[in-house]
Copies of this chain bind each other. A is one copy, B any other.
Amino acid sequence: MQHKTEKTLHLIKQFGANIRQKRESLNKSQRLLAFEYDLDSGNLSRIESGQIDPKLTMLWRISEALGIPLSQIIKSLETELGEKFHIIDQ
């Protein structure tokens, strides 16, 4: 990270909050979800509370655990953070 900007901090906080909300809607504890999908519950705790900036592979594994495509989770984030993008190629 260049140097922890406000935006950056907000991003990971919002991401964590969303993840927590999704998990809770499944009525699973951090421990249970972590156990079932071979994650670390301590890690999950820090991610949900926006303390850390997870790596791509971790994002992927979390989305699998939640049963939601990562693209969908990110899309919610984009909406919430009010980012505007060009819809160009692809």
Contact = CB atoms under 8 A, between A and B. Distances in A.
A83 interface: yes
Which applies to chain A's interface (DSSP): helix, strand, loop or mixed?
helix
Identical copies of this chain, number: 2
B55 A53 contact: yes
Interface residues of A, number: 38
Given A2-B39, A25-B89, A70-B78, 9 more contacts: A53-B56, A53-B57, A55-B55, A67-B88, A69-B74, A69-B78, A71-B71, A71-B77, A72-B90
For the complex of A and B, the 9 pairs showing the least CB-CB separation, nearest first, are A71-B75, A71-B74, A53-B55, A69-B85, A8-B57, A71-B71, A70-B74, A53-B57, A67-B86
